[in-house]
């Protein structure tokens, strides 16, 4: 196999250059001819590649041809036993990891900053989640420590697996080498949500990736490598994983109509990373250093030295502005930047997050610096309180979701058991999950955050949330 090749791209290119085709198959826009007039021109090139499992184009869920070869090339580049393309994002991969490794009643250790997508897998499997705390610095979440993992396995020695997010949404990586040792001593599996870390394998200036240490890992190539949204990949690195069950889980977590333009982007991103990945990510790092230099004149940043002293690493292409440390409301600052043409990944009262990717343009740094100089910052009236402690688990997520539920005002929810997830999105980290008892501290946090403009999924427009109807 040659990394210079892009098997799926080559096959579709040949397909499109044949004589005129008669489209008697889905998608029924027939290569764009049947698209609404308003978007026909805009999506013309995309629509020509929007194909289905025609002869020669393979089948994502039973690949034997060009898709099998494309995935094998990805596995070789990322040094995995198998690699699987994901068309429903890293969320589908996270669900598949749990579905493939946990049975009803199994205990799984989860970092509390686990993405909300894990909930569906917990409901489907009936696995029992036990959450590990996330270390903080000055109230800002970092990641899970080795000590927390040791304590988790000591308290729950029966745990089947640990699912950890590394890097975090803010680019903070855990000490995976030490954590892996603990996990494997416990004869458990290490599952890593590496959605934000597909680029780590290509630069010594960035923290180490999870590949050497984990059993399964999921990467969002659209988040860091420039694939189409929501293109992602699951890598089976090693460990005792039932491959047939993993493939079944992947098929169940994804659409049965995979979009070929997205698959093409994954194939071509892999080719580009094989041929110029180190140079591409090296340029990203250099651009990120210039962005950080422009920003730190106005806002304190989360820095490598801060997190390294606490045992973590930091991906510097994630530029986290800690607005709360200087008493500035991040919502107002982010809105002003948006009006000046600067679109950020995350705008919250206590922080802003900017991401530097492979499409970043050098001239943007000057525009960013000019926009920062034009900000009219005001001192915030108050800051968000510290996140409340992890609530008590009263029911498994599966039990809570399938019981009768009712909507009530969140102000009256203390003492009730949640029937749905409440999550601030992005980054999709749950405040509470189905089966957890809602605490007065959680209600107070919601009230304060809502007043400051934070949006939550799981709350209705009029501030109601779903709770289990009756739990003694």
- Separation of alpha carbons 102 and 160, rounded Å: 7
Q: How confident is the model at residue 280, as a pLDDT?
A: 98
Residue 127 in contact with residue 107, Cβ under 8 Å?
A: yes
Greater confidence (148 vs 382) lies with 148
Q: How confident is the model at residue 472, as a pLDDT?
A: 58
CATH fold label, 278-373 = 3.90.1150
Q: What are the φ/ψ torsions at residue 236 (nearest 5 degrees)? A: -95, 105
Where, residue-wise, is CATH 3.90.1150.10 in the chain? 278-373
Greater confidence (105 vs 1) lies with 105
Which contacts of 442-449 are long-range, i.e. CB under 8 A and separated by 24 or more positions? 442/388, 442/391, 442/414, 443/410, 443/411, 443/413, 443/414, 444/385, 444/388, 445/384, 445/385, 445/387, 445/388, 446/410, 446/422, 447/410, 447/411, 448/382, 448/384, 448/385, 449/349, 449/384, 449/424
The owner of tokens 């199994």 is 106
Any bridge partners for residue 379, and if so which? 328
The answer to whether the peptide bond before residue 167 is cis (omega within 30 degrees of 0) is: yes
Q: How confident is the model at residue 471, as a pLDDT?
A: 58
pLDDT at position 32 over 90: yes
Of 349, 320, 282, the closest CA to residue 169 belongs to 320
- Separation of alpha carbons 310 and 135, rounded Å: 9
In this prediction, residue 427 has a pLDDT band, given cuts at 50, 70 and 90, of: low
Where, residue-wise, is CATH 3.90.100.10 in the chain? 397-468
Over residues 228-247, the pLDDT tens digits come to: 999 999 999 999 999 999 99
Over residues 246-264, the pLDDT tens digits come to: 999 999 999 999 999 999 9
The owner of tokens 């609404």 is 36
- Listing DSSP states for 444-458 in one string gives HHHHHHHHTT--EET
Any bridge partners for residue 191, and if so which? 163, 216
Least confident window among 16-25, 35-44, 59-68, 404-413: 16-25
Q: What is the dihedral of CA 348, 351, 355, 360, to 10 degrees?
A: 90
What is the b/e burial string over 55-77, where b = at least 16 CB atoms within 10 angstroms of the residue's CB?
eebbebbebeebbebbbbbbbeb
In this prediction, residue 379 has a pLDDT band, given cuts at 50, 70 and 90, of: confident
Q: How confident is the model at residue 428, as a pLDDT?
A: 62
Least confident window among 40-54, 281-295, 372-386: 372-386
In this prediction, residue 285 has a pLDDT band, given cuts at 50, 70 and 90, of: very high
Of 377, 333, 229, 370, the closest CA to residue 344 belongs to 333
Count Cβ atoms within 10 A of the Cβ of residue 414 and give its class: 0-12 exposed, 13-18 middle, 19 or more buried: middle
Copy the structure tokens of residue 178: 């030490």
Residue 250 in contact with residue 258, Cβ under 8 Å?
A: no
Of 31, 15, 63, 84, the closest CA to residue 266 belongs to 84
Q: Average pLDDT of 190-213? A: 98
CA 267 to chain centre: 20
Any bridge partners for residue 136, and if so which? 141
Residue 135 in contact with residue 144, Cβ under 8 Å?
A: yes
Over residues 111-137, the pLDDT tens digits come to: 988 998 999 999 999 999 999 999 998
Copy the structure tokens of residue 17: 């250059």
pLDDT at position 62 over 90: yes
pLDDT at position 80 over 90: yes
- The enclosing H or E element of 112 equals none
CATH number of this structure's domain 397-468: 3.90.100.10
């Amino acid at each position: 196999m040659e990394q210079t090749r892009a098997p799926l791209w080559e096959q579709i290119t040949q397909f499109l250059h044949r004589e005129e085709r008669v489209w008697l198959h889905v998608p029924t826009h027939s290569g764009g001819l049947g698209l609404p007039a308003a978007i026909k021109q805009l999506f013309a090139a995309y629509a020509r590649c929007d194909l289905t499992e025609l002869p020669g184009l393979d089948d994502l869920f039973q690949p034997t041809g060009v898709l099998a070869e494309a995935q094998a090339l990805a596995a070789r580049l990322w040094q995995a036993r198998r690699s699987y393309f994901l068309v429903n994002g890293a969320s589908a991969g996270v669900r598949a990891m749990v579905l493939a490794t946990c049975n009803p009643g199994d205990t799984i250790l989860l970092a509390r900053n686990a993405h909300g997508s894990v909930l569906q897998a917990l409901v489907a499997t009936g696995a029992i989640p036990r959450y590990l705390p996330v270390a903080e610095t000055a109230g800002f979440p970092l990641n899970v420590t080795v000590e927390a993992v040791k304590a988790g396995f000591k308290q729950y020695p029966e745990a089947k697996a640990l699912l950890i997010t590394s890097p975090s949404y803010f680019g903070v990586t855990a000490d995976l080498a030490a954590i892996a040792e603990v996990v494997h001593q416990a004869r458990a599996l290490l599952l890593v949500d590496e959605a934000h870390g597909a680029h780590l394998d290509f630069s010594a200036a960035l923290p180490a990736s999870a590949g050497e240490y984990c059993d399964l890992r999921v990467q969002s190539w659209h988040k860091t490598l420039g694939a189409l949204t929501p293109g992602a990949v699951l890598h089976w690195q090693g460990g005792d994983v039932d491959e047939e069950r993993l493939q079944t889980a992947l098929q169940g977590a994804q659409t049965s109509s995979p979009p070929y333009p997205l698959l093409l982007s994954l194939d071509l991103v892999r080719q580009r990373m094989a041929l110029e990945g180190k140079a591409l990510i090296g340029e990203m790092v250099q651009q990120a250093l210039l962005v950080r230099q422009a920003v730190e004149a106005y806002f304190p940043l989360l820095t490598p030295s801060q997190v390294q002293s606490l045992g973590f690493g930091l991906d510097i292409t994630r530029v986290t502005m800690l607005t709360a440390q200087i008493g500035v409301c991040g919502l107002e600052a982010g809105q002003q930047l948006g009006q000046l043409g600067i679109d950020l990944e995350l705008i919250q009262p206590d922080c802003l997050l900017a991401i530097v990717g492979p499409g970043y343009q050098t001239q943007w740094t000057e525009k960013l610096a000019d926009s920062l100089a034009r900000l009219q910052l005001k001192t915030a009236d108050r800051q968000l309180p510290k996140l409340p402690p992890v609530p008590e688990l009263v029911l498994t997520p599966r039990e809570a979701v399938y019981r009768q539920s009712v909507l009530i005002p969140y102000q009256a929810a203390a003492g009730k058991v949640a029937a749905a997830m409440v999550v601030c999105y992005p980054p999709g980290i749950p405040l509470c999950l189905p089966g957890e008892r809602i605490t007065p501290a959680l209600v107070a946090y919601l009230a304060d955050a809502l007043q400051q403009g934070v949006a939550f999924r799981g709350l209705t427009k009029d501030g109601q949330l779903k709770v289990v109807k009756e739990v003694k």
